[in-house]
Amino acid sequence: MTDAQPSHIVTSYEQELTRLRAAISEMGGRVEVQLSDAIRAISRRDAALAARCQAADASIDAMEDEIEELTLRMIALRQPVARDLRSILAALRISHDLERMGDYATNVAKRASALIRLPEVGPINGIARMGRLAHLVIKDVLDAYTDNDVERAVNAWRRDEEIDQMYTSLFRELLTYMMEDPRNITPCAHLLFVAKNIERIGDHATNIAETIYFEENGTRLEGLRPKGDTSSFEIQGEEPADPFDLDPPGPEDGSETP
């Protein structure tokens, strides 16, 4: 799948494109670490790691700014067209997605700091498993980006369904814990947000996969992504409707069918 485009006649243009790609890979690497550290902070109850992880977010944000500057300059000075133009736009879009993923991972780390101060309850293992799966999907899309491997990107795109399904089942499990004992509500509410954050990270990873497809083919990835997240419609027990449902069904991801 690796495209063997001949190099530009103008060497410095080629170098800038290479740098841009390297910067995205590097930023992606930082997001991967950010997520795995945040999850580890929860499962190992490691307060120091949680704090370090929160501090690391600034460097991800700074990279987004740098990538934006680089793309702005390239568009202004190189007048890119065709595949080059798509590559530059793709880098810009991916950097925005990565920045959001970094924010979600940082939020997981913040919740880790809170959870560590609470008694250990709830399906920590399930959260860790979901985190590992999200991490794998991120790694796959980033590798696909580095290698221009669209097939791999599309496979990763499909795997987001698994993350969504895990989120739905964690949602149910957490509700059960909360109903069992009201003292579980605080830690479980935090875990619910952790799960939601990881689910959102997965959604941004699929955005990246779609961008990779667009960069390579110049067309949009057709068809709806299979969705496994049904928690938005979830009703516990026999209650007819949930007046506190703050996450009603709706086209929140754009690709969701109500």
Shorter beta-carbon distance to another protein: residue 27 or 166: 27
Q: How far is the CB of 26 from another protein (least distance, A)?
A: 4
Please report how close the Cβ of residue 243 comes to another protein at its closest, in angstroms. Answer: 47
Measured from the CB atom, the residue of 53 and 178 that comes closer to another protein is: 53
CA angle at 5 for the pair 26 and 208, rounded to the nearest 5°:
40
- Total residues belonging to the chain: 258
Residue type, 106: T
List residues binding another protein (CB under 8 A).
Answer: 8-13, 15-16, 19, 22-23, 26-27, 29-30, 33, 59, 63, 66-67, 70, 72-73, 76-79
Which among 90, 105, 171, 89 is positioned nearest to 138, based on CA atoms? 105
Please state the closest distance from residue 77 (CB atom) to another protein, in A.
4
Minimum Å distance from CB 4 to another protein? 20
Q: Which residue has the tokens 């990246």?
A: 208
Q: Report the candidate in 35, 2, 19 with the shortest Cα–Cα distance to residue 133.
A: 35
Pick the closer one to another protein by CB: 60 or 163: 60
CB of 46 to another protein, least distance (A): 17
Nearer to another protein (CB atom), residue 13 or residue 214: 13
* CB nearer another protein, residue 19 or residue 117: 19
CB nearer to another protein: pick between 63 and 121: 63
* CB 13, min distance to another protein, A: 8
Say which residues have a Cβ less than 8 Å from residue 169's Cβ, sequence separation at least 6. 126
